[in-house]
Amino acid sequence: MKLRVLGCSGGIGGALRTTSFLLDHDILLDAGTGVGDLSLEELRCIDHVFVTHSHLDHVAFIPFLVDTVGALRSQPLTLHATAETLDILRTHLFNWKLWPDFTAIPNAQAPYLRYHTLHPGQPVRLDGRSLRCLPADHVVPAVGYQVDSGQGSLVFTGDTAPCDALWQAVNRIRNLRYLIIETAFSNAEAGLAAVSKHLTPDLLAGELAKLRVKPEIFITHLKPVDGASTMEEVSTVAAAHAPRMLEQGQILEF
């Protein structure tokens, strides 16, 4: 199984793209601005979008994706998320005011988009691959994901503050190869991180101290303005875990 990083920045500017990952050729894990770099044929092949939470940097290109390829597909695109996140997207995005409701276009019997509600502990199995939502703690309802190829697993935390339940789940994954975890703010912005429920390097170090397995660790969601200096702080306080910065265009195989 391959994960291709379409976007992993906490902002935009130049070549930077926000959170979006392509799993193999047919699954998106979040759908930030990085989705816009895919070709029309690559977009048409996407059958599933798994969403961590409803913030725009993670869902902004779902509306454009559905609008672009809906008429080119024989089956609806499936949007997977928790009930709380789906309710937010129905109410505030696909509501005919901000964007059309594609669960009713061209008609309710053959729509371009359908919703699938995720439940904690219940994996979605797709052609030998398994995706399971994990606990997270953010300012809106949020989850992370375990993606299991059958040969190995990858965990993406999504956006989260410190969350003991997350590590209880992660520590039970015996085939964990990769951990992608956010660190949105520098230590100097600890107050902003607390209000917005993100991690700083110091908070990250505290979370990684709860880890009982040994995956390769990649840092995502760094802010463009001070991402380099934040990563330097991460490398200092979490040196024992050898974290690396996730890079756009990177491919992880597992």
Domain residue limits, the chain: 2-253
Residue 137 exposed, middle or buried by CB count within 10 Å (0-12, 13-18, 19+): middle
List, in sequence order, the alpha helices (H) in the chain: 40-44, 56-59, 62-69, 83-92, 164-170, 190-196, 201-208, 227-237
Say if CB 240 and CB 205 are below 8 A apart: no
- Measured CA to CA, the distance from residue 206 to residue 79 in angstroms comes to 33
Say if CB 187 and CB 150 are below 8 A apart: no
In this structure, the strands spanning 129-135 and 124-126 are: antiparallel
Say if CB 222 and CB 9 are below 8 A apart: yes
- AA identity, residue 81: A
Give the relative orientation of helices 201-208 and 227-237 as an angle to the nearest 10 degrees: 40
Say if CB 80 and CB 51 are below 8 A apart: yes
Tokens 């926000």 belong to residue: 18
Say if CB 217 and CB 208 are below 8 A apart: yes
Among the listed residues 33, 35, 246, the one whose alpha carbon sits nearest the alpha carbon of residue 157: 246
Length of the chain: 254
Say if CB 186 and CB 222 are below 8 A apart: no
- Measured CA to CA, the distance from residue 108 to residue 32 in angstroms comes to 27
Among the listed residues 159, 158, 234, the one whose alpha carbon sits nearest the alpha carbon of residue 201: 234
- pLDDT of amino acid 142: 98
For the entire predicted model, the pTM comes to 0.97
Q: DSSP state, 59?
A: H
Cis previous bond, 215, omega within 30 = no
**Under CATH, what is the fold of the domain 2-253?**
Metallo-beta-lactamase; Chain A (3.60.15)
pLDDT tens track, the chain, 254 positions = 999 999 999 999 999 999 999 999 999 999 999 999 999 999 999 999 999 999 999 999 999 999 999 999 999 999 999 999 999 999 999 999 999 999 999 999 999 999 999 999 899 999 999 999 999 999 999 999 999 999 999 999 999 999 999 999 999 999 999 999 999 999 999 999 999 999 999 999 999 999 999 999 999 999 999 999 999 999 999 999 999 999 999 999 99
- pLDDT of amino acid 58: 98
